[in-house]
Chain A
Amino acid sequence: MSTETKHIRMSAPQTESVRRSVSQRSQFVGLYAREVLRTFRNPWVLVITFVQPFMWLAFFGSSFSGASPALVQEVFHTSSYIAFLLPGVLATSMLTVGMFGSMSTIQDKRFGFMKRILLTPTTKATVYLSKVLGSTTRGLVQIPVMIAAAALFGVTFAGNPLMWAGWILGIFLLGLGMSCFFLAVTASSTDWQTPGVISNFITMPLMFASGALLPLANFPSWMQAIASVNPVSFSALLGRGIVVFNTADWSYLGYLAIFATGMLVAGTAVASRYLKAE
């Protein structure tokens, strides 16, 4: 032990007068920063974040490269399928962000870190919200990368800064809502497999029963019905209207706000009750 022991300024527990108020702001900042730092200190996360958008656009975006421009124009109402695809891919990428927040939560439970957190004056709601926002932030990083990738593929963009801000807000709300959903349904889980299973279960129907990848007009009526309440559709259609057609249907943003708020309220209530320390 150090010889400086006697100089330590703390020989008695602190008194009531210096006890802190428990606002949860400090806890939220700490836990959110931890989520973000941990994510971006992982080199694999960085590599995948930057490579994945290019892969999406290269593989999926090239699927109509052999089609005649007239056919592309007729089906997608634009000459560039990549431009059509971009808002849909960004919306789809938000489907999985919650999975990472869930996995991070389960890791914290299994390694005991959740106990460390919950043995401080930190509420379960704060833990939940920090995880939700942390995973949403992780998803948002793909937006500029994807847009830059699309630009490299020769896409030109319509819209103005206000429209773009609204579109990005819409993507954020979609990611927030999906993260809330994921973290709420896995609040009491300690099984590594759970987030992956749920992700597999919901990603396909939400991705294909939406206007993310293909125009809704060609869908059968039952899929159109699903797409009409699918938040992935709201984000994709909002973005496509702005990026491709220079029009913003703000009602989609309203739906996404309702979706995110509903998930946030419900998820916080669920996590406050069911989030387990281990």
Chain B
Amino acid sequence: MPSDAIVTENLTKVYGKLTAVDHVNVKVASGTVFGLLGPNGAGKTTMIKLLTGLADMTEGEAWVAGFDVRRDPMHVKQRIGWVASEVILDDDFTAWENLWLQAKLQSLPEWKERAGDLLTYFGLNDRRKDRVKTFSTGMRKKLEIALALLHQPEVVFMDEPTIGLDANTRRMLWDLITGVNKEFGITVLLTSHYIEEADALCQQISIIDHGKIVASGSPSALKARVESDFVELETGEAVDEAKLRSIPGVTEVRSQGKTWILQVSAAEEVLPHIFSTLKTDEIRRINVEKPSLETVFLDITGKRIDQAGADVPDYRKFYATMRRARR
């Protein structure tokens, strides 16, 4: 039995002609927060389905909490919790009744004290008798995490838990996820397409694209792989690619629609050359990115993970970039 919380060997899932998960090998150490980072449709949710026994694997092996997912799915399900991207509760039930149902589904003989503790922990004790349909999104999310923790799982799967939430609620959830991991000692597998989320929460990350793991490591190790800065450039008129390539310090040029992505040795040194090569009125937007998980993804896959996933609107990035450029 593997000692790691999650182990996969050549885990593969094929739907018709689509290989959603393609020979994935991961090891998640017990007690850590592990991030599976990738764009929509990369195979993150399918991975969770395979690891939780919700979907049958086409090929390969997987162990969760020491149990073979294929052969001992019930033992696995006793040891895992699950937090969905959308809040899934019984709205006609009160918070307490939702916990009661979860206790029944997990065959917990004694659960009330623990349920009360969890409601207190999540600040929901005063609302325990209220129907969930009257809860705010944040409260519902907290209750969902409480359900996931009720049976003292060893591993909690969080499938894009902050998707669609406002920035404040998302930050609150980050604190909760950190608390779940640190205070409860639970292994968390988190899928996300929010770069900054994975960066802030995860000790280890695997980047998945088209069902394949394309990079793995700690956030700092992954960032260290990328020695370049990236300059994102939006121009008003068509610019000759050769002109951009001729700028000193530019090592790679890629186009994404009207936007150019320049891989540069050091942005501080290259920016003056860009401004001198292009006319100022040709530049509509310019954005500098230092090594980050975003640039790691960009470096590996040649594309951005998901523009919609950016927490900060583009105009703020623009002003920040311009301020940096002026300095």
Contacts and interface: CB of A to CB of B under 8 A. Distances in A.
A41 B133 CA distance: 13
Given A20-B108, A27-B104, A117-B105, A2 B120 contact: yes
A79 B202 CA distance: 79
B80 A119 contact: yes
B179 A10 contact: no
Contact of A38 (B52, B90, B184): B90
Interface in A23-42: 23, 26-27, 29-31, 33-34, 37-38, 41-42
Contact of B185 (A7, A13, A22, A121): A13
B121 A1 contact: yes
Contacts of A13: 79, 152-154, 184-186
A120 B106 contact: yes
A126 to B, nearest CB: 9
Given A10-B184, A11-B184, A119-B82, A34 B77 contact: no
B123 A20 contact: no
A271 B221 CA distance: 47
Nearest to A15: B152
B122 interface: yes
Contact of A22 (B90, B92, B107, B117): B107
A251 interface: no
Interface residues on B, range: 35 or more
Given A10-B117, A13-B185, A26-B107, A119 B78 contact: no
A66 to B, nearest CB: 46
B49 to A, nearest CB: 8
A2 B116 CA distance: 13
Interface in B76-106: 77-80, 82, 84, 86, 88, 90, 92-93, 97, 100-106
A29 B104 contact: yes
Interface in A138-171: none
Interface string A99-137: 000000000000111011111111100000000000000
A34 B101 contact: yes
Interface in B88-144: 88, 90, 92-93, 97, 100-109, 113-114, 117-118, 120-123
Contact of A122 (B54, B105, B122): B105
Given A10-B152, A30-B100, A113 B107 contact: no
Contacts of B183: 5, 8, 11
Given A26-B104, A29-B104, A37-B93, 7 more contacts: A8-B120, A13-B154, A30-B104, A31-B101, A31-B104, A120-B77, A121-B106
Interface of B: 52-54, 74-75, 77-80, 82, 84, 86, 88, 90, 92-93, 97, 100-109, 113-114, 117-118, 120-123, 147, 149, 151-154, 175-176, 179, 183-186
7 contacts: A4-B120, A13-B152, A19-B78, A26-B105, A26-B108, A30-B100, A115-B54
